Amino acid sequence: MTNGSYYDKLKHDEDNKIHTKKITVSDIISMKEKQKKISVLTAYDFCTAKICDKAGIDILLVGDSAGMVMMGHKNTINVTMEEMTIFCKSVSNGVSRAMIVTDMPFGSYQINSDMAVKNAIHLIKSGSDAIKLEGGIEISKTIKEIIRAGIPVMGHIGLKPQTSTLWEGYKVQGTTKSAALKLLEEAKMLEEAGIFSLVLEMTSSEVSEIITNNIKIPTIGIGSGNSCDGQVLVLHDMLGLYDLLKPKFVKKYADVGKIIYDAVSKYNEEVKNNDFPSIEHSFIMKENELAKLKDIVLK
């Protein structure tokens, strides 16, 4: 599909008010039962969210990875609730079909359950359909409280970016028997707490398969092999927009960074050479009006 036909289709759909059924928690859970893979991508703004939604992505994750790829932080720790709220609202404005799951940033749920519930409610009111938080046994009580408030929760174990960097850095998880058993125990406990899906990050493929086969809820892998029920990538990684980190598990589907660089460089060159704007990109007065103006100005 060409760019022109793509945007023509977007306009056609909007003009005719074509709406697709919104994906729900039960839809995601049933995809595991039907052995249908779940596609997940991060999104942080209206334009990319709209494109991902139109492309058929099942879940758009408003990730705290925005702190790195959108704001330039070295990690996700410094992201705030206020910032996540802005990203969440922006994404929700561009989505009609995909489920929106928003990361609860570091510090927004660790202090106590009351604060966690309050912040989760805030994100739901900002346009999210569910929230995601990192952790295992230590946050199971908090998860139960959030779910009791009526909010769907996606779990996240394995590598936990918000805190792993403080302890051991970015390392593959589940590489020993004891580590694998702990992850399996955490997965079962989080399932019992009521989460509807579970992210497994940088977990060995073998352990991810064992976890996937031993819980009823879908697993979403990132760097955790293809046995998971779904996959998630950071949009900026797979498009080649962010190159400060290059994880082994990322497949680059396009080099959009180079495309943007080439376009910006061409624009810069044309402005400096006075080639842009040309007549086709300018507005021209009617000749008779211009003549009247000249009669006054040139006297």
Terminal Cα-to-Cα distance of the chain (whole angstroms): 56
Q: Which single residue is written with the structure tokens 């929106």?
A: 100
C-alpha count within 13 angstroms, C-beta hemisphere, residue 8: 5
Dist CA 185 CA 191 (whole Å):
10
Dist CA 72 CA 281 (whole Å):
34
Retrieve residue 281's tokens: 């990109």
82 is catalytic: no
Is the separation of the CB atoms in 132 and 199 below 8 Å?
Answer: yes
List own/partner pairs for 78-87 with CB under 8 A and 24 or more apart.
79/105, 79/106, 80/105, 81/105, 81/108, 81/119, 81/122, 84/108, 84/123, 85/122, 85/123, 85/126, 87/44, 87/45, 87/62
Backbone φ, ψ for residue 66 (5° rounding): -55, -30
Q: Which of 201, 209, 280, 287 is catalytic?
A: 201
Dist CA 46 CA 60 (whole Å):
12
What letter would DSSP give residue 107? Answer: T
- Catalytically annotated residues: 201
